[in-house]
Amino acid sequence: MQKGEGHPQWTGKSHGGYWGHKSFAVLLRLGMFPAYFLLVFVAAFFVIFRKKYTSGGAEYLGRLFGKKAGAVSWKMYRLVFSFGMSIIDRVAFFCGNGKIKCADGCEETIEKLISDGRGLIVLTAHVGGWQIAGSQLYKYGRGVGIIGADNEDEKISELLDGGRVVDTPKVLGDAADTFSMLPAFSLLRRGGIVAMHGDRYAGGRFAETEFLGGKVRAPLAAYVLAAKAGVPVAQISCVRESLFNYRMEVLDVFDFSPVPPSELIGAAEKCAKKFFGNLEKALRESPYQWYNFYNFWE
Amino acid sequence: MDKQSLILDLKERLVQTLNLQDLEPGTLEADTPLFADDGLGLDSVDALELVVMVERDYGITIDGKDEAKTIFASLDALADYIIARK
């Protein structure tokens, strides 16, 4: 276990902010395909003229496929296009246009995990339609909150106010905020569900782990929070399986409570390493659906 | 318990709870910032540990992130909060 002071960490802003979402929201009034058509050019613009925004993606693709320059450019285009599609899809989904479907393969596992009244941490990654997955968590009749990074989910909520028909979870705080864990801890102890990302290091405690052939910092806060609140963690992914169709599934469950205090960080490290092993496996199956555009291996 | 005794008690509990092996409780100043880089530099996991400790040992629940920033600014601030809530 290590603390992150003095080390580089994710401090950037998420791409596809308010105006990016807004332009696509306006085009969506004409239909999904006009929005996708605009994306053909927007994605090319980003790949050619905004390399600094996509350099982290190039590192990821190079590690996944090898670093042949031309091949990486084309793959980068596919990754950026796929990211744009995810933005269009999420806006369409939350505005309730009915085109975007999400098959929930997690229901049985989640119902079992919370059947004794315990809360649950849903640990996602920046894969596919994670915001769409968040909206599926209301069906269990529990309070739902998220801990985000860069308040990206708040931006979407802001945009959708007035047009939104599907609820998005309440933002409890930012992952980079030292005290964001406290409202999450309180919600979990009341039997609520908290969704967090496990694939972005924004400061604090971490374990160094292998991911796509290099060392990365795996944040530990989610696992410690789970142990302290006495709740399990479900690692979930929500990938786009085909045009307009997403599927949620449980990749793993970490349920290590109760654990003696002296073994807590060690147990959290094991979970974090397993999380990245599961994520790597999922990304090899859906390589163009990881939207974490910063160099995770720095 | 008066404030000075409470601060001494908090120093012991903080070092024990966070397993700060290199820190002697007696050398910790009451006004040392707990979470700032120019103080102890504690992190989110430590914050959670402290919240659990305060609830277990003093019977006070802290769950608001904004109030926590003020309460955990230093041991002096934490002692004031505990006294006010007792």
A178 and B48 within 8 Å at the Cβ level: the answer is: no
Same domain, A150 and A271: yes
Of B37, B45, B48, the CB nearest to A5: B37
Q: Using the 3D structure, point to which of A49, A76, A94 is the last residue of a domain.
A: A94
Residue of B nearest to A224 (CA): B45
Final residue in a domain of this structure, among A44, A64, A94: A94
A10 found inside a domain: no
Looking at the predicted structure, is the pLDDT value of residue A116 above 70? yes
Question: Under an 8 A CB cutoff, do A186 and B63 touch?
Answer: yes
Look up residue A167 and give its two tokens: 């609820």
pLDDT at A172: 86
Shared domain check, A111 and A251: yes
A112 occurs within a structural domain: yes
The nearest alpha carbon in chain B to A173 belongs to B65
> With contacts defined as CB-CB under 8 Å, which chain B residues touch A181?
44-45, 47-48
Same domain, A85 and A116: no
The torsion angles phi and psi of A153, rounded to 5 degrees, stand at -75, -30
Q: Looking at the structure, do residues A63 and A130 belong to the same domain, yes or no? A: no
CA distance B83 to chain A (A): 21
A52 vs A233: which has the higher pLDDT:
A233
Q: How confident is the model at residue A10 (pLDDT cuts 50, 70, 90)?
A: very low
How far is B49 from chain A, CA to nearest CA, in Å?
8
Do residues A90 and A105 share a domain?
no
Say whether pLDDT at B79 is over 70: yes
Residues A146 and A131 in one domain: yes
Are A53 and A141 in the same domain? no
- In the predicted model, what is the mean pLDDT of residues B47-59? 95
- A26 shares its domain with A156: no
| Residue from the list A172, A177, A182 with its beta carbon closest to the beta carbon of B51 | A182
Q: Mean pLDDT throughout B65-85?
A: 95
Mutate to test the interface with A, among B16, B40, B44 (most CBs of A within 10 A): B44
Whole-number pLDDT of residue B19: 87
Average pLDDT in chain B: 93
- Whether residue A8 is contained in a domain is answered as no
Question: Does some domain include residue A159?
Answer: yes
Give the residue on B whose Cα is nearest the Cα of A262.
Answer: B19
Q: Give A170's pLDDT tier (boundaries 50, 70, 90).
A: confident
pLDDT on residue A283 = 97
Which pLDDT band holds residue A139 (cuts at 50, 70, 90)? very high
pLDDT digits (tens, 9 = 90+) for A208-219: 999 999 999 999
pTM score of the predicted model: 0.88
Residues of A in contact with B41 (CB under 8 A): 3, 5
Answer whether residue A293 is part of any domain: no
Distance from CA of A142 to the nearest CA of B (A): 18
Q: What is the pLDDT of residue A227?
A: 93
A15, pLDDT greater than 80: no
Count: domains in chain A: 2
Report pLDDT for A11. Answer: 46
Q: Which carries the bigger pLDDT value, residue B79 or residue A32? A: B79
pLDDT for residue A21 is more than 70: no
Q: Identify the weakest region by mean pLDDT among A19-28, A123-132, B45-54.
A: A19-28
Summarize pLDDT for A188-209 with one digit per residue, the tens: 999 999 999 999 887 888 999 9
Are residues A254 and A116 part of one domain?
yes
Of the pLDDT bands very low, low, confident and very high (cuts 50, 70, 90), residue A161 is low
What is the average per-residue pLDDT within B45-57? 95
CA distance B81 to chain A (A): 17
A21 and A152 assigned to the same domain? no
> What is the band of A231 on the pLDDT scale with cuts at 50, 70, 90?
very high
Q: Is residue A291 part of a domain?
A: no
Q: Which of A91-95, A194-198, A256-260, A273-277 has the lowest mean pLDDT?
A: A256-260
Residue A9 included in any domain:
no
- A184, part of any domain: yes
Domain that holds residue A149: 101-285
Residues linked to residue B60 through DSSP beta bridges, in sequence order: none
Determine, for residues A178 and B35 on separate chains, whether the beta-carbon distance falls below 8 Å.
Answer: yes
Last residue of a domain, which of A41, A72, A94?
A94
**A121: closest CA among A238, A253, A254, A234?**
A234
* C-alpha to C-alpha distance for A248 and A110, rounded to whole angstroms: 12
Q: Considering only the beta carbons, identify the residue of B37, B44, B49 that sits closest to A180.
A: B44
The residue of A171, A179, A264, A271 whose CB has the most chain B CBs within 10 angstroms, and thus the best one to mutate to test that interface, is A179
